[in-house]
Structure 1
Amino acid sequence: MATDATHEVDNQPPEFAPRDLWHDDVALCEAVAREGGAAFTDRLASYGALAGDALYAAGFDANRDRPRLRTHDRFGHRIDRVEFHPAYHQLMEAAIGQGVAGLSWAQPVPGAHVARAALAYLHHQADAGTSCPLTMTHAAVPVLRREPRLRPWADKVAAMRYDARDVPIDDKAGVTLGMGMTEKQGGSDVRSNTTRASPTRDEGIYTLRGHKWFFSAPMSDGFLVLAQADAGPTCFLMPRRLPGGERNDFRLMRLKDKLGDWSNASAEIEFDRAWALRVGEAGRGVATILEMVMLTRLDCMLAAAAQMRMALAQALHHNRHRRAFGRALAEQPLMRNVLADLAIETEAAVALALRVAGAVDAASRDPAQAAFARVATAIGKYWLCRRAPTFVNEAQECLGGAGYIEESILPRLYRQAPLNSIWEGSGNLQCLDVLRALTREPGVAAALQAQIEAARGMDAGFDAAADRLAEQLADAARAPHDVESQARRLVEATALVLQGAVLLRANSPIAAAFCVSRLASAHALALGTLERGIDLDAPLARVLPT
């Protein structure tokens, strides 16, 4: 039976995917080559195509059908199992198989950390939730390698094999790792933790009793946990399954109902004499965990930059195809200002994140790079994670009401954006840590200054901002306690100057626009307020091939 159509679908953009997230991203390709990761280009190109197609689709499924906790089976046996949509396992299998968690350790050659960082950046654009267990698994390896009996765990991370089965690690080719630090009464103050660790008769083996308020990735094969031993806070590796195959003595109480990060599970957990292996010295648990911080903070930077990148790509794609008032939205003067401003912010973010990845990569070979990585991970984590929520909202607005609908990826990005400013230490902790590193740790201030000084003479606005920053840093060095309340201002200024230095040294086409808009006070508080005379074509041309 014939029917009359009530409307025609017109003036709508085509589907965003499939896209090649590697070749589309000029700034990323250039940064990887600049920081020494060019040998891994084929791997990155392969993963960029996968992340922009099959994994992009899987991300929607994994977030739509959230993890479920099954505490008991149908017969009443305690199982403490988290069940996921198959798309979650598809994402994890692809990521681990291509090295998002293990490439740095499987191929420990110069550039491997840079390539691994780029893989993490590409993966995060497809799905953010799986980035949590991937990051923790990657960052745990240096700590585990310090203990000879924990080497099998580290080796199985480096194997780059994903096995979701709930079986002992002796029966698995690869493993994943989660973490349990936070308790109700302490939050970031982990020294106030009350979970107790009691030694057994076997050297280095303890039992744990207590509660964790946030327990990340509870489906993992093992967990790094902080607990109070007689000597003080100590780090432990607690396996899900005991060597004989029995379930370890812990209980998942509930899954957290989070703002975002829906594809990943976070839990509350109780230990009831759970079996665990000490990692590092007794009483030195905080110091042991801090060995992971440089890597986890870097991943926070990469995640924030990836969220910005995907949000901008979506906004530009929509605006190139959507018409209003006689021309494409992307050609409207004010919208062009907004999109170009977002493009400048995005390129500065990925340039800084990959510069820090390059420093992490070189840290074992170059003390100056190690000192720079020490402070730059905190600087970058604070600033990029602070910028992401505002950025994503601005990109969301570029789609209008369509950007508020779950069928687009923008609501998911918006929910996810605040997480990394909270995870791995809030903004205040990052800023105080920067202040501490610059004023107390030998070589750190000099390493930071060397990165900035290398860009002197390339831009007058940059030079003036670097002069102002030098005065602020000198004040902090003279009286760090007096400037503690101003630590956020100091870190923000440092981050902006550092981004300018990276872009100038890279000879980026957007370096001048960044310096005049971010460093020379030629910018208002909102994005989309670039002054007349700034080249809008250069940043937009580098975002997304037509």
Structure 2
Amino acid sequence: MNTAIDPFLDNPFDTHQVRNTVAPLENFNLFTADPALVEAVRREGGGAQAEALRALGEQLGRAGTLELARLANQYPPTLHNFDRAGNRIDEVEFHPAWHSLMKLLIENGAHASPWLGGEGAQVARAAKYLMFGQVENGSQCPVTMTYASVPALRQAPAIAAKWLPRILSMEYDPRSLPVEQKRGAIIGMGMTEKQGGSDVRANTTRAEPVPPEQARAMFGDEGVDVYRIVGHKWFFSAPQSDAHLILAQTGDGLSCFFLPRYLPDGGRNRIRVQRLKDKVGNRSNASSEVEFTGAYGWLVGKAGRGIPTILEMGSHTRLDCVLGSAGAMRAALTHALHHARGRSAFGKPLSEQPLMQNVLADLALESEAATAFSMRLARCFDQGGDPAQQLLARILTPAGKYWICKRGPAFGAEAMEVVGGSGYVEDGPLARLYRELPVNSIWEGSGNVMCLDLLRAFGKTPAAREALAAELELAGDGEGAGHGDYVRYTQALLADVSQPVADEFGARLLAERVVLAVQAGLLLRHAPLYVSSAFVASRLAREPGGAFGRLPAGVDCAAILGRALVLP
């Protein structure tokens, strides 16, 4: 009789068995697992692309795609200022995973699809972007800037004629070459400087016009006004881009310029990358500090009108901040809920523990409300020709960027706490998500800048209040649970925004109230009653608070969590 001990099955020296752990959440469909997103796409006008979104959701949820995200952040970009012979090149080297993610984004039109036409194109593109936000956030940065550059560049027909065909191309071409030799182009931006930050009017970078005959001799007849630029940018996003939009001072004031990486004669423009930023998050993406030592730039828009010109870009990048935060929050929720369903404590799964249900359901409400709001905002951009929708976007864009992006870091921390110590280490995605979430509050205008922008919208455009009132009234005549609190809340809000004197001191609270009211209205109209009533009871009937897990008694947590993540 063989009495040998099998070392793999019954080793008396093993210290423990691995059990009660949860496998990674992967190989699932990001679109079909999210009923709130599926419903929002359909009702906001993007339903014609539902099948394409389903296919993309499956691709993004694959283990291999999620591994690309890990690798791109594990091996961040490196800067090479010089080649082996000592020539200045300022090239950024990326891990192959980064290029795979960029290719996936570009091939699916995340940078361009709304500008190519089609019903509900902004909404469908927003859904793509929100799902990409659940996978990897650094690669979204250059894609956002490329997407947002199109309205600004259309103000410069000569530049647009040459560059837009490559910007709108569905081919990702990372080669460092003059644009004429490329199949696709990426656009970056650089506005802030050391001394000013958000106060771009304090910029000191200066631009001097090049005499027309000299410009023609150097570059041919490009049909543009050429300037020589000297100065710096403290944040210059995606220096590997084929061109950047920047702000610089001219004799007429702050102006907007288009700086190609390569000049028409094939030489490199004099854009010197000093270093890459060592950032808290968004580490897969290259952000840099640069100096312009006589770089050539092409004027976009009118001289002295740089801020209005660049704002054509800014409104779209701010939309993406909202979408990106909503996507990252959704990812944090799904990982936390998946863990809680598979992990047991005190005799039953975490997801069935009453207090944990309160936390998870509260997170699920926040995520669904963020999704509903961001997709509604995307419809405003689809219907930009409608003055009412244009006014509503003017309000909801800064308010949403403030509140939804501000909720992100606390949301990520709470999701991490659900997982516990395993969520705090770098083995899983929650640590990376947590580091990513603050950037959308900071980039493209901090919270205070957004709230002051909201005040300006109400102060300069009285009709903005009517646009907000019309949106809120769509949910105000019901009789179900939560409607009474909703009507009282929105009436008080509309009374306050009708006051002629703006209260700068309370601008943050105003922005919060605007977003909560719109979110509640959308949920009352479109979400199940167990979702909308819980949201109103926990956000409108009382302050939302600084922590999650504060839902009142009687909330149907099981139903909320069942809707939050639908897996086969």
Q: TM-score range by the shorter chain?
A: over 0.9
AA aligned to 2:25 is F
AA aligned to 1:367 is P
- 1:292-303 equivalent positions in 2, closer than 5 A: 292-303=313-324
Q: Distance in 2 between matches of 1:275 and 1:352?
A: 41
Tell me the CA shift for residue 446 of structure 1: 1.2
AA aligned to 2:84 is R
Name the counterpart of 2:40: 31
Q: 2-11 or 13-22, which moves further after superposition?
A: 2-11
Tell me the CA shift for residue 76 of structure 1: 1.2
Name the counterpart of 2:455: 435
The structure 2 residue matched to 1:44, chosen from 50, 53, 57, is: 53
- Residue 327 (structure 2) pairs with residue 317 (structure 1): no
- Residue 193 (structure 2) pairs with residue 172 (structure 1): no
Q: 182-191 or 150-159, which moves further after superposition?
A: 150-159
Tell me the CA shift for residue 443 of structure 1: 2.4
AA aligned to 1:100 is A
- Residue 450 (structure 2) pairs with residue 450 (structure 1): no
Tell me the CA shift for residue 390 of structure 1: 0.4
Secondary structure at the residue paired with 2:119? coil
Q: TM-score, normalised by structure 2?
A: 0.93
- Conserved? CA contact 1:43–1:98, under 8 Å: no
Q: Distance in 1 between matches of 2:426 and 2:99?
A: 22
Aligned residues: 540
Q: Distance in 1 between matches of 2:228 and 2:58?
A: 46
Q: Deviations over 1:210-251 (max 9, x none)?
A: 111110011100000111111111101101111122111111
Name the counterpart of 2:433: 413
**Structure 1: segments with no counterpart, 5+ residues:** none
Secondary structure at the residue paired with 1:234? strand
Q: Deviations over 1:415-449 (max 9, x none)?
A: 11111111110111111110110121252221111
- Residue 112 (structure 2) pairs with residue 90 (structure 1): no
Tell me the CA shift for residue 498 of structure 1: 1.1
RMSD across aligned C-alpha pairs, in angstroms? 1.3
Tell me the CA shift for residue 524 of structure 1: 5.2
Q: Distance in 2 between matches of 1:452 and 1:377?
A: 16
- Residue 264 (structure 2) pairs with residue 243 (structure 1): yes
Q: 337-346 or 39-48, which moves further after superposition?
A: 39-48
- Residue 99 (structure 2) pairs with residue 78 (structure 1): no
Q: 239-248 or 376-385, which moves further after superposition?
A: 239-248
Q: Distance in 1 between matches of 2:525 and 2:164?
A: 37
AA aligned to 1:190 is V
Name the counterpart of 2:500: 478
Tell me the CA shift for residue 525 of structure 1: 4.2
Q: Distance in 1 between matches of 2:168 and 2:52?
A: 16
Tell me the CA shift for residue 97 of structure 1: 0.7
Secondary structure at the residue paired with 1:298? helix
The structure 2 residue matched to 1:59, chosen from 59, 69, 79, is: 69
- Residue 500 (structure 2) pairs with residue 500 (structure 1): no
Q: 51-60 or 256-265, which moves further after superposition?
A: 51-60
Q: Distance in 1 between matches of 2:313 and 2:470?
A: 25
Q: Deviations over 1:337-384 (max 9, x none)?
A: 1111110110000000000001111112x1110110111111110100
Q: Distance in 1 between matches of 2:462 and 2:268?
A: 46
AA aligned to 1:322 is R
Name the counterpart of 1:130: 139
Name the counterpart of 2:275: 254
Name the counterpart of 1:371: 391
AA aligned to 2:191 is M
Tell me the CA shift for residue 125 of structure 1: 1.0
Q: Distance in 2 between matches of 1:194 and 1:525?
A: 40
Q: Distance in 1 between matches of 2:183 and 2:468?
A: 41
Q: Distance in 2 between matches of 1:362 and 1:431?
A: 24
Percent of aligned positions that are identical = 48
- Residue 158 (structure 2) pairs with residue 149 (structure 1): yes
- Residue 209 (structure 2) pairs with residue 194 (structure 1): no
- Conserved? CA contact 2:410–2:547, under 8 Å: no
Secondary structure at the residue paired with 1:125? coil
AA aligned to 1:528 is G
Tell me the CA shift for residue 83 of structure 1: 0.4
- Residue 18 (structure 2) pairs with residue 9 (structure 1): yes
The structure 1 residue matched to 2:533, chosen from 512, 530, 541, is: 512
Secondary structure at the residue paired with 2:244? strand
Q: TM-score, normalised by structure 1?
A: 0.97
AA aligned to 1:123 is F
- Residue 115 (structure 2) pairs with residue 105 (structure 1): yes
Tell me the CA shift for residue 15 of structure 1: 2.0
Q: Distance in 2 between matches of 1:134 and 1:27?
A: 25
Tell me the CA shift for residue 92 of structure 1: 0.3
Q: Distance in 2 between matches of 1:387 and 1:524?
A: 11
Secondary structure at the residue paired with 1:92? helix
Name the counterpart of 2:492: 468
- Conserved? CA contact 2:206–2:230, under 8 Å: yes
Q: Distance in 2 between matches of 1:511 and 1:89?
A: 41
| Higher Rg of the two aligned structures | 2
Secondary structure at the residue paired with 2:523? helix
Name the counterpart of 1:224: 245
- Residue 230 (structure 2) pairs with residue 214 (structure 1): no
Q: 384-393 or 155-164, which moves further after superposition?
A: 155-164
Q: Distance in 1 between matches of 2:266 and 2:544?
A: 61
Q: Distance in 2 between matches of 1:436 and 1:156?
A: 36
- Conserved? CA contact 1:452–1:497, under 8 Å: yes
